[in-house]
Each structure stands twice: as C-alpha cells, then as structure tokens.
Amino acid sequence: MKDLIIIGGGPAGLTAAIYALRSGLDTLIAEKLSFGGQVINTHEIENFPGFAEPIAGWDLMTAMENQAKRLGVESIFSEVLSIEKEEEIFSIKFANGSLQKSKAVIVCTGASHRKLDIAGEANFTGRGVSYCATCDGAFFKDKIVSVIGGGNTALTESLFLTKFASKVYLIHRRNEFRGSEILQKRIKENDKIVTVLSSIPISIDGSNKVESITVQNTDDNSKRKIETDGVFVLVGISPNSNFLDKSLLNQAGELIVNDKLETSINGLYGAGDLRSNSKRQIITACADGALAAINAYEYVNIQ
C-alpha cells in the first residue's frame, strides 16, 4: 500500500514526486518508457527559470529525475491498464501483470503531438522540426519557417512566429482555414505570412537539419519544394488517456479537473498536458505537479 502513486515521469510527474516525498508521502512513480516525457526530445530550452544559458531537454529532465531519486522515490516501468477505486483505496493494474494499491493517485501521462508521418519528420525532430512554436520559435530569428495546420492553434502560432522569423509559410490541406474569423483576418493582414492552401506536406528534406519541405497540391497533384529552416507541425494533440474511464474525460479526451486539479473521484488528480485547460508548457506542468502533490498530501492525511 502506497500513500501516493504518480503515473507518468515527465516534468509534472517528477515535480509531483519531489513535493510528495518532501512532505513525507510514501510515493511510487510509474512510467511506461523512461523518465522525461516529450521534453527529452527538445534540443534546447531557454525559457525555464534559473538558467542563464539554454539547457538541453535531456539535461533538465535528468536533473529532475536525479532529484526525485535522491529523495528516495520508488519506480515501476510498465504501462498502466486501468485505475479503480474501492473503499477509498485505488488499485492500478499494469501491463507487466502487477497490481499496485494507493490512497491517492496523480495522473501525469501527458499528450502526444499528432504526427504527419511523412519522410524526414522523425529524422529532423529537434533539428528543425518542432511541435511547439512557443517553445522553439525564438531559435528561428530572421529565418524562414513553415507551419502545418489550419486550426486556431496553427493560426495563433503562425502569428507568434512572425515575432522572430523573416517569413512564415502557413500550409493547410484545405482551401480555407478552420480557425476563427479574427485569426484569419490577422493572418491575411500580416505581411510576413504566406498562405499555401490546398496543399499537403509529403516530405521534409535536408542534410543535417531542415532545409526544405515538399508539398503536393490537392487539386492538380503538382509538387512544390519550399525552402525553409524550420517546420512546425500543429495538427493537434492526443491526450494519453486511453486507460481512463471516459466519464472522467472531456470531448477532446482530456482529464477534467477542478482548481485543485482533482477529478470527480476524490483522491484522483490530473496534472500537466493531460488535463483540461493545460497551457502545455514545462513550467506549467511543474506547477501542476506541485499543486497536485500538495493537495494529495492534504487528502491522504484527512482520511
């Protein structure tokens, strides 16, 4: 029996573990693969407080992992299949056949960026291919970038990128954007943005880094190569919530939480990119982890 089980070993999960352990909770952290989450694939991070120079995502997450280990966190590396609560105790089933019990649970399994699944995308991730303009936009100062997508996120991030890039190609598979009218108006009025409609990306090309993207017109099947220094794939995200009961999720598959990050089940919390209304930043994931752990401590100690 554990006081707290944390599911997910990214920034939210590791921060939750640090806070829980320091408060005296007997804590287990469960991770499907390895600690660090998506952050370990980020080449450089320059907006995390405390670092005068950019820090590699791997280094930042390794530091968090080592801190949790120094405090004595226990860990299990296996995929979670289900979470059930009975008589105030949570039972968590794992793919390796084990069953763990705890008084409280924090789910921090994050979300996965939807991929294009085209040639070059995986090879150049972190070397020109990004899934977060807010995270990586500043690395493309005075350079040319391309954004893939047509919803509010793609339009908003395209406008954000004009603060840094000299030119932004906005590529969308339909002949009109799906984003709000006000965003579409701003896109049209921005001289730095070049729209490429009715086009789908078919490959991202380069040698050691991104140098161009090839798109195909959906009307006549003609192909066009666009020279670009970076490609931002903004076609949506998928919360990693398949193991959770659908009654706990919103239509987007996000875990619904209140201002204490607690779900409709007492003692079950959500933190980081998985939860509803997440800002999907490393710093906000850490804040979520800390808050969820503090509230879990209070919950465990009033049972």
Q: What is the CATH number of the domain that holds 61?
A: 3.50.50.60
pLDDT block averages, 10 residues each, the chain of length 303? 97 98 97 89 81 91 97 96 96 97 98 92 94 89 97 90 97 94 96 97 96 97 97 92 96 96 98 94 96 98 80
Chain centroid to Cα 219, Å, comes to 34
Full strand arrangement of the beta sheet holding 210-217: 199-206, 210-217, 223-227
E strand residue ranges, the chain: 2-7, 27-31, 74-77, 80-86, 89-94, 99-107, 111-113, 129-130, 144-148, 167-171, 193-196, 199-206, 210-217, 223-227, 230-233, 237-239, 268-270
Same domain, 73 and 54: yes
DSSP-derived secondary structure letter, 235:
S
Chain centre to alpha carbon of residue 30: 18
Residue 183: in which H helix or E strand, if any?
Answer: helix 181-189
**Active-site residue (options: 3, 136, 273, 288):** 136
Residues 205 and 295 in one domain: no
Task: Answer yes or no: do 20 and 108 share one domain.
Answer: yes
Comparing CA positions, the residue from 4, 3, 2, 16 lying closest to residue 271 is: 16
User: d(Cα 253, Cα 131) in Å, to the nearest integer?
Assistant: 19
Q: Where do runs of H (alpha helix) occur along 140-180? A: 152-161
Same domain, 107 and 195: no
108 is a catalytic site residue: no
Counting the structural domains of the chain, the total is: 2
Go through 133-159 and write b for each residue having 16 or more CB atoms within 10 A of its CB, e for each that does not: bebbbebbeeebbbbbbbbbbbbbbbb
**Cα distance between residue 3 and residue 168, in whole Å:** 50
What does the angle CA 128 – CA 33 – CA 86 come to, to the nearest 5 degrees?
Answer: 130
User: In 3D, which of 128, 141, 137, 175 has the Cα closest to residue 156?
Assistant: 137
Of 209, 233, 257, the domain-final residue: 233
Q: Tell me: do 125 and 203 sit in the same domain.
A: yes
Residue listed under structure tokens 């006000």 = 182
Q: Are residues 20 and 161 in the same domain?
A: no
Q: Are strands 144-148 and 167-171 parallel, antiparallel or unpaired?
A: parallel
CB-count exposure of residue 224 (10 Å: 0-12, 13-18, 19+): exposed
Q: Name the token pair of 269.
A: 């919390």
Look at strands 129-130 and 223-227 and give their pairing.
unpaired
Same structural domain, 122 and 226: yes
Residues 119 and 223 in one domain: yes
Residue finishing a domain among 175, 200, 233: 233
Is 136 annotated as catalytic?
A: yes
Same domain (yes/no): 217, 248: no
- Based on the fold, state whether residues 217 and 260 are members of the same structural domain: no
User: Which of the residues 3, 108, 135, 288 is marked catalytic?
Assistant: 135
Q: Is 219 a catalytic residue?
A: no
290 and 251 housed in the same domain: yes
79: domain range? 2-112+237-300
Last residue of one domain, picked from the residues 185, 206, 233: 233
Catalytic residue among 59, 108, 117, 132: 132
What pLDDT is stored for residue 43 in this prediction?
A: 66
Please check whether residues 128 and 146 belong to one and the same domain: yes
CB contact at 8 A, 20 and 291: no
CA-atom Rg of the chain in angstroms: 21
